[in-house]
């Protein structure tokens, strides 16, 4: 009985300690303290963007060294890996967002957050111009600010290759509004196909979902869509669910070229079991309102009717990036993006513009993993840079006071100090960026995921239900905050217990 009492008390004490620390952490998180004001003596760092690269930079930066201004058209960080889960309603929209002000309010020195879209960068005069293009604007909606350092992390937009009809008729899967639009359109297709008197052909068309691009975005979305169909739509639309068809179109000979052959085959066979059609070596040539035009492997052109097209065909540079690169033609000729050196410095801008993430053309794939490591690296390099700048300033002070000294003894002392500072400066080296690959993961539907993980000097490939739990725990732990982790975990339980919501928002 005594042992039972001890166990009972231990359980209660552990629970109380858990609740207490959860309360403490969330309370501390909700009430950030007073911050230092901007200091005119410090250099100004302007950060463009609030995505993976910019947020990792902000999170790690010691703001006591700099005055920081963030400019981004969205005032939040979006956890993109779980965007397809939001599109089908497994997760709620807000669960994967973290307001940028939550990040900046916890910094030592106050950080200005400006919700605006940068329009242009002047690398010669070191200025950025931006506009407020939100629905509601005050009397001022455009301005230009100077920077000492610019952290350029505007990401990329979806590649359309100028293919007719893509912008007008397809949905993308890059931003939060894309996931919302997808959900509304998909449920609209379902409800319209249930309209009385609809012909079988028209029902077939409306319920045919075409996903273009067999990269991880297209594959993950197809997998999530399949789960929605199996786990929920079969219950709420029993007469229609069997007619829903998902087709994944890929121009290359296989999907997911970044994964090992074994995992590609595993994905293909899982999709086959899930009745997701994969058309490889097939290129979408045009997207129409009610169909897509396909160039088939035998070069014939086929029109495939469909209710909806999701376009996930890769990345391309934003216009602002193209304009910035065009100002430095001698150093910036790579069509894939900004050329940077191993210190993230944009070539041709002599330590004033640092570019990170999807807007750059480096040897690394455009992934969140790369962008966040680059952002965190840059913050560390900025701390070193601040130390170097302080030494430089001290050197200038000492040199000018030495020049003014009349007594030789005093002057010699200062000259000695000058030499010491010079020696420290000569030793000063900012380390270059090195990327550490943590592996590649993707969800493929039916509670299965695939993972290519680095293992000693090789790699370890795994796929299946266990990998799915690994995928979930890896993303849960990578989520930005305790708040995000709690919301996502609760959403997973909510979906398991109550299913996904099929009400269509306007
Ligand atoms: P982003 O995160 O896109 O951020 C760009 C920021 O710049 C945004 O805040 C944007 O609003 C802002 N911006 C845009 N224009 C301007 C402007 N004119 N002025 C100022 N700011 C501007 N990668 C992985 O490693 N693992 C994954 O599982 C994974 N899953 C993904 C799933 C999906 C659906 C998608 C679309 C991508 C996924 N990625 C994944 C890729 C990953 O999201 C990107 O590589 C990553 O977002 C790049 O970070 P970034 O900071 O360069 O750009
Ligand atoms: P992607 O560039 O990886 O794949 C796009 C695919 O679309 C390509 O395979 C291309 O051949 C195909 N395509 C292009 N035009 C086409 C056309 N007209 N018809 C048919 N197919 C066409 O793009 P994605 O998936 O959006 O990923 C972008 C980046 O984000 C990649 O670097 C990727 O690694 C990363 N990412 C990583 C994820 C993960 O690790 N789980 C998830 C999502 C994205």
Confidence class for position 189, pLDDT limits 50, 70, 90: very high
Name all residues whose Cβ lies below 6 A of ligand 2.
Answer: 81, 163, 212-218, 220, 249-252, 258, 283-284, 312-315, 365-367, 440-442
Give the percent of the chain with pLDDT over 70.
100
Tokens representing 46? Answer: 């302007």
Average pLDDT for 445-474: 94
Evaluate: CB of 362 within 6 angstroms of ligand 1: no
CA-78 nearest atom, ligand 1:
2
Evaluate: CB of 212 within 6 angstroms of ligand 1: no
Which of 136-145, 242-251, 410-419 has the lowest average pLDDT?
410-419
What's the whole-number average pLDDT of the chain? 95
Residue 237 CB-half CA count within 13 A: 26
Q: Is 301 in contact with 286 (CB distance < 8 Å)?
A: no
- CB burial of residue 497 (10 Å; 0-12, 13-18, 19+): exposed
pLDDT of 3 higher than 90: no
Q: Is 240 in contact with 203 (CB distance < 8 Å)?
A: yes
Evaluate: CB of 449 within 6 angstroms of ligand 1: no
pLDDT of 449 higher than 80: yes
Q: Is 411 in contact with 403 (CB distance < 8 Å)?
A: no
- CB burial of residue 248 (10 Å; 0-12, 13-18, 19+): buried
> What 3 state SS string does 359-420 have?
HECCCCCCCHHHHHHHHHHHHHHHHHHHHHHHHHHHHHHHHHHHHHCCCHHHHHHHHHHHHH
pLDDT of res. 403: 83
Q: Is 72 in contact with 128 (CB distance < 8 Å)?
A: no
What separation in Å is there between the alpha carbon of 218 and the centre of ligand 2? 7
DSSP character at residue 109: B
Cα 43-352-365 angle, rounded to 5 deg = 120
Nearest to 152 by CA among 317, 334, 359, 343: 359
Confidence class for position 378, pLDDT limits 50, 70, 90: very high
CA-154 nearest atom, ligand 1:
7
Positive/negative CA dihedral, 72, 75, 77, 83: negative
Nearest to 443 by CA among 259, 277, 169, 284: 259
Confidence class for position 346, pLDDT limits 50, 70, 90: very high
47 alpha carbon, closest ligand: 1
What separation in Å is there between the alpha carbon of 489 and the centre of ligand 2? 27
Q: Give the whole-angstrom CA distance, residue 272 versus residue 189.
A: 24
pLDDT of res. 79: 98
What separation in Å is there between the alpha carbon of 178 and the centre of ligand 2? 16
Confidence class for position 366, pLDDT limits 50, 70, 90: very high
The string of pLDDT tens digits covering residues 148-182 is 999 999 999 999 999 999 999 999 999 999 999 99
pLDDT of 1 higher than 80: no
Which of 314-318, 357-361, 429-433 has the lowest average pLDDT?
429-433
pLDDT of 80 higher than 80: yes
Confidence class for position 4, pLDDT limits 50, 70, 90: confident
Ligand 2 pocket test: pick from 171, 179, 216, 370 the residue with the most ligand atoms within 8 Å of its Cβ: 216
List the end-to-end C-alpha distance of the chain, in Å, as a whole number: 61
Ligand 1 pocket test: pick from 69, 72, 221, 437 the residue with the most ligand atoms within 8 Å of its Cβ: 72
Residue with CA nearest ligand 2 atom 30: 367
pTM of the model: 0.94
Average pLDDT for 420-425: 92
ipTM value, please give it. 0.98
The string of pLDDT tens digits covering residues 283-295 is 999 999 999 999 9
């Amino acid at each position: 009985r005594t042992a039972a009492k001890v166990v009972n008390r231990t359980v209660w004490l552990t629970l109380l300690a858990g609740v207490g620390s959860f309360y403490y952490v969330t309370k501390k998180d909700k009430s950030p303290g007073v911050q230092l004001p901007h200091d005119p003596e410090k250099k100004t760092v302007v950060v463009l963007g609030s995505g993976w690269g910019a947020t990792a930079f902000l999170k790690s930066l010691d703001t006591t060294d700099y005055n920081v201004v963030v400019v981004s058209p969205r005032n939040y960080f979006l956890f993109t890996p779980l965007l397809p889960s939001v599109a089908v309603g497994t997760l709620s929209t807000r669960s994967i967002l973290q307001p940028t002000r939550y990040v900046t309010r916890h910094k030592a020195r106050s950080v200005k957050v400006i919700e605006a879209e940068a329009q242009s960068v002047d690398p010669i005069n070191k200025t950025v111009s931006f506009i407020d293009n939100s629905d509601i604007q005050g009397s001022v909606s455009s301005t230009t600010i100077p920077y000492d350092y610019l952290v350029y992390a505007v990401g990329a937009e979806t590649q359309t290759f100028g293919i007719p009809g893509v912008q007008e008729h397809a949905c993308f899967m890059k931003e939060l509004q894309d996931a919302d639009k997808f959900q509304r359109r998909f449920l609209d297709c379902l409800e319209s196909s249930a309209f009385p008197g609809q012909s079988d052909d028209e029902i077939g068309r409306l319920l045919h979902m075409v996903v273009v691009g067999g990269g991880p975005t297209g594959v993950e979305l197809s997998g999530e869509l399949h789960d929605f169909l199996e786990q929920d739509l079969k219950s709420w639309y029993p007469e229609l669910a069997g007619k829903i068809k998902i087709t994944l179109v890929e121009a290359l000979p296989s999907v997911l070229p970044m994964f090992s052959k074994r995992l590609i085959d595993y994905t293909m066979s899982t999709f086959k079991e899930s009745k997701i059609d994969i058309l490889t070596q097939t290129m979408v040539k045009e997207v129409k309102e009610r169909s897509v035009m396909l160039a088939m492997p035998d070069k014939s052109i086929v029109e495939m009717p469909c209710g909806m097209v999701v376009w996930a065909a890769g990345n391309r540079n934003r216009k602002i990036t193209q304009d910035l690169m065009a100002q430095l033609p001698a150093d910036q000729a790579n069509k894939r993006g900004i050329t940077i050196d191993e210190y993230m410095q944009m070539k041709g801008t002599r330590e004033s513009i640092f570019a990170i993430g999807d807007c750059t053309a480096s040897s690394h794939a455009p992934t969140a993993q790369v962008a966040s490591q680059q952002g965190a690296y840059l913050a560390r390099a900025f701390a070193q840079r601040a130390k170097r700048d302080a030494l430089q300033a001290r050197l200038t002070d000492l040199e000018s006071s030495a020049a003014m000294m009349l007594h030789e003894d005093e002057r010699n002392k200062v000259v000695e100090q000058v030499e010491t500072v010079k020696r420290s400066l000569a030793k000063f080296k900012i380390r270059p960026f090195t990327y550490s690959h943590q592996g590649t993961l993707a969800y493929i539907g039916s509670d299965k995921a695939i993972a290519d993980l680095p293992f000693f000097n090789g790699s370890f490939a795994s796929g299946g239900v266990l990998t799915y739990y690994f995928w979930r725990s890896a993303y849960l732990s990578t989520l930005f905050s305790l708040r995000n982790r709690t919301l996502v975990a609760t959403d997973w339980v909510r979906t398991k217990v109550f299913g996904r919501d099929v009400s269509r928002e306007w």
